[in-house]
Structure 1
Amino acid sequence: SQQLRLLEMAGLVTSRRISNRDKDKPRILYSIAGDLSYVIATSDRFVDKKILRLTEHNKINMRIWFIEDAGVRYALEKAFWTLEPQLHAIDRMSYAGIERGTPVIEYSARARLPASIEVGGQFGKVVLRQSATPKGQALFERGK
């Protein structure tokens, strides 16, 4: 369709021809062109929109930004940036919720991480708990 061709020209989708059962009727298979985000920012002094190709770090931040509670988002962002140097050893990370007034990140990793991270703000710290199968809202999974 014309809309798909326009999306392809914009770099949002890719296409490839595939054989069809009916002769002289080529089919085109469209697929998403990778990990992208279309960001629209509106504030009193800044308005912009942009298509971003997402890195693994961007995807983690986007998942954090989709959490409703702004205080939790702040705490998880600070925790992530503290954990970023060890990301190569982490297989999975999930936001497991708030326990006893503190945000909890469950993770599975090939290295031991600290029991908590000081983040300041509303919560003060984020608890890290190792788990073979982290539960909750996925923040990161190696290979996905």
Structure 2
Amino acid sequence: MKLSELRIASLEFAFSAALPIGAWFILLSPDAASGMPFLQSAGSFLAHAFTGADVSPTMRVHYILLTVLPLQLLLLSVMTWRQASLTGQCRFWCIYLGWVATVIAIALFYWPSAIASALATYHAGKRTVI
């Protein structure tokens, strides 16, 4: 069975979301010495990262972009898979959001995600009529 370009793009978008999701998993996992349960530790970290007074604006923007990136990549994965089932073509917004996700990944220095997202955007737009 041959995969279409959009299905390949969908799988690449899903793959590129793995690194930011893994980063969140590491950030939210509790410290072994703290002895706190997982949810309490995760809630404490999230409260500190997004509302803490001592967190710099640069770090806050980093955490916001780190939140947006995997959500956007997973949404693109689902939407390109759906477009492959329906029309076989990807619309302009799909390509545009793919490049935005690539730029966000580059800004966060997540190069494997940026490369996979750029390849996915290329495959999504390969046979697209805008």
TM over 0.5: no
TM-score (norm 1): 0.26
Q: Larger RCO: Structure 1 or Structure 2 (Cα < 8 Å, ≥ 6 residues apart)?
A: 2
TM-score (norm 2): 0.28
Larger strand fraction of residues: 1
CA radius of gyration, larger in: 1
Q: Which has the larger helix fraction? A: 2
